[in-house]
Amino acid sequence: MIRPASRGIRHIALRVRDLQRMRSFYVDTLGFRVEWEPDPLNLYLTSGTDNLALHQVQEHLPAGSLDHMGILVDRPEDVDAWAMYLKGQNVDLTQEAKTHRDGARSIYFQDPEMNLIQIIFHPPISGERN
């Protein structure tokens, strides 16, 4: 089976202890802009060609706690092609293909060291050639 195309890692999701402090750092210091704020515990930022998700958690976390990384694809149907390909490679999906409330579509699986990976179609940046 032929491996579907991807645009590489364009999405990282971090678990954070202080969402407002992280927001200030990424927006004010690094120049990201808010793409979407669905609720007080979740914030999605972009520099224009990527997506950084900040998810506030209550439990104690080590600094720099990764939730998952996302590999960008151009079209929603590419997510489904990746799902079929991965299953053909005997990779178990931790989440089947799903369309999210912001119009994104994704699947999740783990690498051999249990890092969570997402294949994602994300409308604001998928298909952009930056």
Q: Is 44 contained in some domain?
A: yes
pLDDT score for 63: 61
For the chain, the domain total comes to 1
Instruction: Kindly report, residue by residue over 74-103, the tens digit of the pLDDT.
Output: 999 999 999 999 999 999 999 999 999 889
pLDDT score for 115: 81
Q: Is 2 contained in some domain?
A: no
Average pLDDT, the chain: 91
pLDDT score for 128: 64
pLDDT value at 106 more than 90: yes
Q: Is 100 contained in some domain?
A: yes
Q: Is 22 contained in some domain?
A: yes
Range with the poorest average pLDDT among 8-17, 46-55, 62-71: 62-71
Q: Rounded to two decimals, what is the model's pTM?
A: 0.80
pLDDT score for 71: 94
Q: Is 30 contained in some domain?
A: yes
Q: Is 129 contained in some domain?
A: no
SS3 string, the chain, reads: CCCCCCCCEEEEEEEECCHHHHHHHHHHHCCCEEEEEEECCEEEEECCCCEEEEEECCCCCCCCEEEEEEEEECCHHHHHHHHHHHHHCCCCEEEEEEECCCCCEEEEEECCCCCEEEEEECCCCCCCCC
Instruction: Kindly report, residue by residue over 4-48, the tens digit of the pLDDT.
Output: 999 999 999 998 888 999 999 899 988 999 999 999 999 999 999
Instruction: Look up the domain containing 32 and give its range.
Output: 9-121
Q: What is the CATH number of the domain that holds 15?
A: 3.10.180.10
pLDDT score for 112: 77
Tokens 């969570």 locate to 116
pLDDT score for 35: 95
